[in-house]
Chains A and B, each alone.
Chain A
Amino acid sequence: MRSWSTRSPAPGASPEPRGGGLGGGRLRLLQARARLALRSFRSGMAVFLESRLGLLSLLTIGVFALMAVAHPILMGTVWDADTYDPVTGYAFDATEQPAPPSWKHPLGTDPLGRDVLSQLLSSTRSEFALGITAALVTVTIATTVGAVSAYYGGLVDSFFMRFADLVIALPSISLLIVLSALFDLSLFYLALVIGVLGGFGGTAIVLKSQALSIKVKPFIEAARMAGGGQFQIIFVHIVPNLLPLSLLYMMFTVTSAIFAEAVLSFLGLLDIRMSWGIMIHTANAGGYLLSGTKYWWLVFPAGASITLLCSAFYLAGRALDEVVNPRLSRRDG
């Protein structure tokens, strides 16, 4: 609550009281907000942890995060770069490549003599980077688009919503394949493209309908009476209330980004050093996939990682849905 009762709500008055009330009042306000945030975080966490799948998926994500952290540490201490580098290393100790799992190479080596465990761990880091970048881009765009089109309505609204319909109808994998033909897609650009496609697509529609229900709440009316400007209302009052739902859609974007990367790498279309998709691509190109279970370490770790991390983010999103979705939630939002 800014001090709107003392100010005259003259139309056209300076909308931003920032800096005006700095001091004790401002501090107390921040404290109160922090307490509120903490309390809602705790109760949200309790609902989240009630679902077994949510807890399990959080644990899975944690294990993968540890794997991502472990790679640089292992490279710095135990593993020497000549043997264990995920791209340029070569296992001189093995007599034939791909070598089966041994003490030196817990997951064996690939057809080019590179350590599979090292590849797996170093890919984890880039998958996280890709997923989180794409999710941030998606959520930034979708939240802004959703809030703006809910607030203004009319022409802006129908433009963005028709555009979202168009983006949904686009076959995204085919589009990414075409893009990879025309440009050198690196990990960052891939994340950007996936993020933009997600942000203007279905996520924007969902966030807009949520923003519509926020727009009619009394505190928006109060902010407008207090002389709040359009940007202030959108970004200070509507957007923060959208953030829980945005977080949910971040989870789903991570899943689709990792999946898209794996598919494109599997088809050999990306300009990336190492990833789970490239590991499967290498095994497939060498013809090791149809040998069934004999060379299991070439395919199984990477394939299982893709499935596990994708479904972990997906299920975490589902569990989060119970917390932030007012239709499913039992507490008063």
Chain B
Amino acid sequence: MASYLARRIAQMALTLFLILTVTFVLVQAQPGDYASFYALNPDLPPDVKEQMRATFGLDRPVWQQYLIHMRNTVTGNFGVSFGHFPRPVLEVLAERLPRTIVLFGTATAASVYIGFLLGKAIAWRRGGLLEYTATISGTVLFTAFTPAFALTMIWLFAFRLGWLPVGKFLDPLVWRDADVTSTSVFSFMLLTAVAFVGFAALVLFISGRGDRIGRRWPATLALAAGALVAALAWTLSGIGPLALDILKHMVLPVATLTLISFAGTMLLTRNSMLETVREDYVTAARAKGLPDGQVRDRHAARNALLPVVTSLIYSLIFALDGSVIVESVFSWPGIGLTLLEAVRSEDLPLVMGAIVFIGFLSLLSHLIVDVLYAYLDPRIRYQ
């Protein structure tokens, strides 16, 4: 496992190096050059121009600029954003990163889980009404033009019915008297989610050790206790209403993203299940007289899970990539919207920082899924 991990991290570093090179080449290849871009920008005071010149090495030969670009990226020095003037690019991106991760992490988890449940069900009972409804509606939603669909959702649920807020990620009236920033609330939410997932994994691991079929209540009880502790901590901390406000704004984008992307996982699970139900061990499980649901969930679906985990990479990258569209429609100020705004206002340092961040995030999710996959399927580890 350790050598596999080391190999994957080395590959990832190489890929990141390539992405950095590509971004550098792109900047060099654009019409006009970076140096005159800074020099001609009337919004920048002379001392900042001087500082920029030093940061990016604009008066040096190209190969030295390339080395400086590499060093800057490794040390996280992307320069100063034009659009958010005195603030460094890294600070702007670090503020927006938790928002993107919270939104798209939730949406990906929801869509993969729902897709897996539906796919499992429609493969088990073929030709039913559920199969036709789920397949057709899933495909239509999958191919629907994302912005138009998202706007329809906003029009229906926020504008016409008025159940949910129209856009943005918080309500200024709720936050007026708050003495914490939204970024720290987002970070706490992320921390809670990570802690809970870790706790759940631990509980399930321990309860799986003494594998006694049919006795699931201790694990369920422990999970419920964990959730209760988390809820209590949030209520006592005093920022509970703020988090609730953010959650209320999250419902619509998360629902939209889930509806768009659950079909991919669903169809994949269905195909993979159709192959596993023909295996001998499924027949054997049936012959032992196990209940139908247990054969489906514990024998067939577990083994159908592998390709679904592989596709998780594509779901994550799809979500990250789609973040630009969904964030712009819902005015959710995460990394995607930052990239778009930076592109529109020709804020080059921020554009470069954002694309490097997005590339890094997609590589990181790639790595996490790979490790998960190697854990689930030992054949990968020993290759």
Contacts and interface: CB of A to CB of B under 8 A. Distances in A.
Interface of A: 162, 165-166, 168-175, 177-183, 255, 259, 262-263, 266-269, 280, 284, 289-290, 292, 299, 303, 306-307, 310-311, 314
A259 B145 CA distance: 7
Contact of B321 (A174, A266, A314): A174
Contact of B144 (A166, A175, A269, A307): A307
B359 A171 contact: yes
A283 to B, nearest CB: 10
9 contacts: A169-B317, A171-B358, A174-B336, A177-B324, A255-B143, A266-B325, A268-B344, A280-B147, A290-B151
Given A170-B359, A181-B343, A182-B30, A310 B143 contact: yes
Given A171-B320, A171-B362, A292 B160 contact: yes
B154 A182 contact: no
Given A169-B317, A171-B362, A181 B324 contact: no
A259 B366 CA distance: 24
Nearest to B151: A289
Contacts of B317: 168-169, 171
B268 interface: no
A172 B11 CA distance: 20
Given A267-B328, A267-B340, A175 B143 contact: no
Contacts of A172: 321
B148 interface: yes
Listed residue (A168, A172, A255) with the most chain B CB atoms within 10 angstroms of its CB: A168
A166 B18 contact: yes
A173 B324 contact: yes
Contacts of B351: 178, 181
B355 A178 contact: yes
A290 B324 contact: no
A170 B336 CA distance: 14
A313 to B, nearest CB: 10
Contacts of B328: 267
Contacts of A311: 139-140, 143
B235 to A, nearest CB: 36
A266 B326 CA distance: 12
B27 A182 contact: yes
Q: How large is the interface on B (under 10, 10 to 19, 20 to 34, 35 or more residues)?
A: 35 or more
Which 5 A-B pairs have CB atoms at the shortest separation, nearest pair first? Answer: A182-B30, A181-B343, A311-B143, A303-B148, A171-B321
B339 interface: yes
B346 interface: yes
Nearest to B342: A181
Contacts of B148: 280, 299, 303, 306
Nearest to B159: A290
A170 B358 CA distance: 9
Given A173-B325, A263-B325, A290 B155 contact: yes
A54 to B, nearest CB: 14
A280 B363 CA distance: 33
B146 interface: yes
Nearest to A163: B18
Interface of B: 11, 15, 18-19, 23, 26-27, 29-31, 139-140, 143-148, 151, 154-155, 159-160, 314, 317, 320-322, 324-325, 328, 336, 339-340, 342-344, 346, 348, 351, 354-355, 358-359, 362-363, 366
Given A178-B343, A311-B143, A166 B151 contact: no
A268 B324 CA distance: 13
A266 B149 CA distance: 13
A79 B269 CA distance: 51
Listed residue (B15, B328, B343, B366) with the most chain A CB atoms within 10 angstroms of its CB: B343
B343 A269 contact: yes
Main secondary structure of the interface of A (DSSP, over half): helix
A311 B145 CA distance: 10
A268 B146 CA distance: 15
A307 B260 CA distance: 13
Nearest to B15: A166
A219 to B, nearest CB: 31
B339 A178 contact: yes
Nearest to A178: B355
Contacts of A259: 145
A294 to B, nearest CB: 11
Contact of B339 (A166, A177, A255, A290): A177
Contacts of A269: 343
Contacts of A303: 145, 148
B155 A306 contact: no
Given A174-B324, A181-B343, A181-B351, A263 B147 contact: yes
Given A280-B148, A299-B148, A169 B18 contact: no
Contacts of B29: 182
Contacts of A173: 321-322, 324-325
A7 B344 CA distance: 66
A289 B321 contact: no
A307 B26 contact: no
A169 B339 contact: no
Nearest to A311: B143
Nearest to A255: B143
A276 to B, nearest CB: 8
B363 A181 contact: no
Listed residue (B148, B317, B324, B328) with the most chain A CB atoms within 10 angstroms of its CB: B148
Given A178-B343, A267-B325, 14 more contacts: A165-B15, A170-B362, A171-B362, A174-B320, A174-B324, A179-B26, A180-B343, A181-B342, A182-B27, A183-B31, A290-B159, A307-B143, A307-B145, A311-B139
Contacts of A262: 145
